[in-house]
Chains A and B, each alone.
Chain A
C-alpha cells in the first residue's frame, strides 16, 4: 500500500514558539489519521503546511504524490480542505458557493452547477440551496464547508476540527458522513481535541504536543497505554481523601490523581466495574461517605496526563 501523505521532519517556528518540531508521519492511502491534541499543539499548523497554505521552515512533505513545495498547484487539485471556521461566502447562497468552488477547480460551468446540486442533495441542504449562507445554522455551515471540500471529489481530504462547536446531533451526523467518505476510499487527515472522535473515525491516532508526536497507535493501543477506564470518586469530607486514595491505588494501573479542592480522586483501571465495587466496599467499611462514584472513558486530558505528566489545559495556560 502506498502512502497518500508523508511528512518528514516538518519544522515551523513563530518567533520563539516552535509550532512544529520535526514532526514526521505517514498516512497510507485509504486510511484515516487523527492528530489529537489541545489548542496550540500544532494540529492546525500541520494541516496548513500540508495543504500549501503555509511554508514550513524545514522538512519535506508529499500529498497525493505531489511535493508541497515544488508541486503546489497540482497538489491543490487533488485535495479538499474544510476548517474549523466555515470558509464560505456569507452573501452567496449555498449553491453559488459550491458552484464558484467548482469553477475554481476548473470543472467548467455545467459540471460545477451539476456537482453543486448533487452535493447539496447529499448533505441535506437542497432546501436551503438558494438561500444566502448568512442564514444557515452552525451545523449547516459546517456541512456546506465540508461539501466545498468535496466538490472535485479529491482523493485526499483534510478536516481541521470538523465538529468543534457543533451540538451532539450535528456532530453524530457529520461523523456518519465522514465515515461514508472513508468507506468509499478517501484518505483522511483529521485533527481533533476529542478522544471519542479520534476513536470513532481514525485508523491511527497521533498524539501531538508542542509540535512533536508523543504517542502513536490505534485507539485501542493508546487506551491500553493510558488505561482503559477511569474510576472517579467524589467525597463529602476531605478527611476521607487518604482512605479513598489508598483503596483506589490498589486497582490503579497508572498515575492516581487527588484533587483536594474538589474532593475528588481519579485513577486509570483495567477492570472498571470490579474496581468500583471493591473500592466502594472498602470505603463503606471505613465509614467514608461518598457523594458520587463512577467510571468514565479516558479524555484527552487523561491521555496528556499519562503521556506528558501535565494536563492538557495546563500546557495551554503555560504558553
Chain B
C-alpha cells in the first residue's frame, strides 16, 4: 500500500470500528434517530399550531430548518467520540501501529457522515408523514441532501478541532451546547427571521445555519413568494454561500484538527 491510499484504507478500518460501536451503543443510535423524530413531531405540532408563515404551510417551511439543526447536532458526535477515545487510551494503541496518523480523524468523520445519512433519511420520511413535500425535480432535491451531508462532514471537522483542543467530554459538551443553541435559534430555521428586531435579524441573516437552511429550502422548493426576501448576500445566493462555508470549514479545520491530533496525543 502506498502513502496516498494508506490514510483511506486505514481510515476505512477506523470507520468500520466506529460503525460497529454505534450499532452497540443505544445512546448514540438514540441521538441519531430518536432526536430528529422527536424534533419533527414537536416543532410540527407545537410550534406549527401557533406560527404562521406567509404563503405556505409551517411544516414545509420548518423541515429544511430541522434538517440543518439535526446535522449541526449530530456532527457533534465526532467531537464527543474523540474526547472519549482520548480518555480511554486507545489512541496510544493506534499511534504505536504502522497506520496513517490521519486515518483516525478520517475514519471518525466518515463514520459520523454515515450516521448523519441515516438520520437525514429517517427525518425525511418523518417529514413526508407530517406533510412536508419536495417541489423541485429529483436532481435538485438530491443536491439538497448532498449539500446537507457536505455540511455535516465539514462541521464534523470543526467539532473534532474543538474536542482535541478541550480534551474532556464534559468541557466539550458544555462548549458545544453553549455555541450551538444561539446558532440554531438566532436563525431562520424555525421562524421567518425578517420579522426579528434589527440586530437579531442581521445576525440571523449572516448566520451560516440560516444560509444552509435557505439553501435547503431553495433546493427542495419549500419557499414562498409571499415572504419578505432579505437583501443580505448569503440570503440572496444561499447555495453558493453554503458551498463557500463548506470549503472554508474544510480548508481551516482539516489541517487544524490534524495538527492538534498529533500534538494532543504526542505529549
- Please report A residues at the B interface, Cβ cutoff 8 Å: 51-55, 73-74, 76-77, 79, 81, 83, 85-92, 96, 100-101, 103-106, 132, 148
A105 touches B95 (CB 8 A): no
CA distance A301 to B204 in the complex (A): 66
15 A-B pairs within 8 Å (CB atoms) are namely A54-B267, A76-B96, A77-B98, A81-B93, A85-B88, A89-B90, A91-B20, A101-B97, A103-B10, A104-B10, A104-B97, A105-B98, A106-B1, A106-B99, A132-B24
Q: Total A-B pairs in contact (CB under 8 Å)?
A: 67
Residues of the A chain whose Cβ atoms lie less than 8 Å from the Cβ of B24: 91, 132
A52 touches B95 (CB 8 A): yes
Asked whether B136 is an interface residue with its Cβ less than 8 Å from the other chain, the reply is: no
Add 11 more A-B contacts to A104-B94, A105-B98 (CB < 8 A): A53-B92, A53-B95, A53-B96, A54-B267, A76-B96, A76-B98, A85-B88, A86-B89, A87-B92, A91-B25, A132-B24
B89 touches A87 (CB 8 A): yes
Asked whether B21 is an interface residue with its Cβ less than 8 Å from the other chain, the reply is: yes
Asked whether B197 is an interface residue with its Cβ less than 8 Å from the other chain, the reply is: no
Q: Which of A55, A74, A148 contacts B93 (CB 8 A)?
A: A148
CA distance A140 to B263 in the complex (A): 32
- Please report B residues at the A interface, Cβ cutoff 8 Å: 1, 9-10, 13, 16-17, 20-21, 24-25, 88-90, 92-99, 265-267
Query: Given that A53-B265, A55-B266, A132-B24 are known contacts, is A88 also in contact with B96, CB under 8 Å in the complex?
Result: no
Minimum CB–CB distance from B264 to chain A (whole Å) comes to 12
Residues of the A chain whose Cβ atoms lie less than 8 Å from the Cβ of B25: 91
Q: Which 6 A-B pairs have the closest CB atoms?
A: A87-B93, A77-B98, A76-B98, A91-B21, A81-B96, A104-B99
CA distance A92 to B23 in the complex (A): 10
Residues of the A chain whose Cβ atoms lie less than 8 Å from the Cβ of B92: 53, 81, 83, 87
Residues of the B chain whose Cβ atoms lie less than 8 Å from the Cβ of A73: 98
CA distance A83 to B253 in the complex (A): 32
B89 touches A83 (CB 8 A): yes
Residues of the A chain whose Cβ atoms lie less than 8 Å from the Cβ of B99: 104, 106
A100 touches B21 (CB 8 A): no
Residues of the B chain whose Cβ atoms lie less than 8 Å from the Cβ of A81: 92-93, 96
B98 touches A51 (CB 8 A): no
Residues of the B chain whose Cβ atoms lie less than 8 Å from the Cβ of A101: 93, 97
Q: Which of A53, A87, A100 contacts B13 (CB 8 A)?
A: A100
CA distance A55 to B99 in the complex (A): 18
Residues of the B chain whose Cβ atoms lie less than 8 Å from the Cβ of A53: 92, 95-96, 265-266
CA distance A77 to B100 in the complex (A): 12
CA distance A104 to B24 in the complex (A): 22
CA distance A52 to B93 in the complex (A): 11
Residue of chain B at shortest CB distance from A90: B88
A89 touches B98 (CB 8 A): no
Minimum CB–CB distance from B89 to chain A (whole Å) comes to 4
Residue of chain A at shortest CB distance from B22: A91
Residue of chain B at shortest CB distance from A72: B98
Residue of chain B at shortest CB distance from A14: B267
Interface hub of B1, B94, B97, B267 (most chain A Cβ within 10 A): B97
Minimum CB–CB distance from B257 to chain A (whole Å) comes to 19
Residues of the B chain whose Cβ atoms lie less than 8 Å from the Cβ of A77: 98
Residue of chain B at shortest CB distance from A84: B89
CA distance A260 to B20 in the complex (A): 60
B20 touches A88 (CB 8 A): no
Residues of the B chain whose Cβ atoms lie less than 8 Å from the Cβ of A92: 17, 20-21
A79 touches B1 (CB 8 A): no
A79 touches B96 (CB 8 A): yes
Q: Which of B89, B96, B265 contacts A85 (CB 8 A)?
A: B89
